[in-house]
A and B are shown apart, each in its own frame.
Chain A
Amino acid sequence: MCLSTVYKNKLTPEAIMMKNVMRIECKDGVVILTDLMERQMAVEGTLEMANLVDGVAVIKEAAV
């Protein structure tokens, strides 16, 4: 129920994709992130990890 910070591929500050994420949807190989202000970001890949205690998630970007 807490807001999360979502990272791309690795848990490093420069890999932050979006903060205050309230919703993560995975659909057809695309992960859609929505933040508290209803801004959305879509990235091709999969949800690799979500730590709901620490409020972090990692998106594994799709390999080409």
Chain B
Amino acid sequence: MHIDHDHTGLPHEHPHEHAHTHEHTHDGVTHTHEHTHTHTHDHEHPHTHDHIHESGAEHTHSHGCEGACGSCQSQCEHTPKEELMALMKYMVGHNAAHAKELADLAAKLDQTGDHTAYEQVMAAVSDFEKGNMRLSVVLTSMEHE
């Protein structure tokens, strides 16, 4: 069993110090100053840290940022949109597999002599495939954005 720890992996803030140069104009004279200031912004880190289990065993788990950090340039594996698209891609494939299963079921109904049920199920499969095609088009459109 894990013992709870403080770091939840949620977005959090750190202060950062930055040096900037920018131009000023005084009395018609333009020159450049360098100045330093501190600011904070939200971000989330993928990280590893030790856990102490109740048994006394200690080991390290890695934690991803789960794509929640808009400011992170390079460490995030997936953006929320990428994650949604992966889920949608999975569901389109999943629906296609279910459509095939239903078509197989319809064929078995036909073999039992219930041709009316076969036709109705196949009509449902056709509707299902049309809906899935619409999802597939949306997914393709998102992939090209």
Which residues of chain A have a CB within 8 Å of any CB of chain B?
1-3, 20, 36-37, 39, 41-44, 61-64
Contact yes or no, A3 B90, CB < 8 A: yes
Point out the residue from A36, A42, A61, A62 that lies within 8 Å of B90, measured CB to CB: A36
Give the residue name and chain of the B residue nearest to A45 (CB).
Answer: B1
Which residues of chain B have a CB within 8 Å of any CB of chain A?
1-2, 53-55, 61, 64, 66, 77-78, 83, 86-87, 90, 94, 97
Decide yes or no: A44 and B1 within 8 Å by CB, A2-B94, A37-B77, A37-B78 being known contacts.
yes
Give the residue name and chain of the A residue nearest to B56 (CB).
Answer: A64
Other than the given A61-B1, A64-B53, 8 more pairs (CB < 8 A) read: A1-B97, A20-B87, A36-B87, A37-B77, A37-B83, A44-B1, A63-B1, A64-B54
Contact yes or no, B86 A1, CB < 8 A: no
Point out the residue from A36, A43, A62 that lies within 8 Å of B86, measured CB to CB: A36
Sample of 20 A–B contacts (CB below 8 Å): A1-B94, A1-B97, A2-B94, A3-B90, A20-B87, A36-B86, A36-B87, A36-B90, A37-B77, A37-B78, A37-B83, A37-B86, A39-B64, A39-B66, A44-B1, A44-B53, A61-B1, A63-B1, A64-B1, A64-B53
Query: Closest Cβ of chain A: how far from B58's Cβ, in Å?
Result: 13
Contact yes or no, B55 A64, CB < 8 A: yes
Q: How far is the CA of A59 from the CA of B86 in the complex (A)?
A: 25
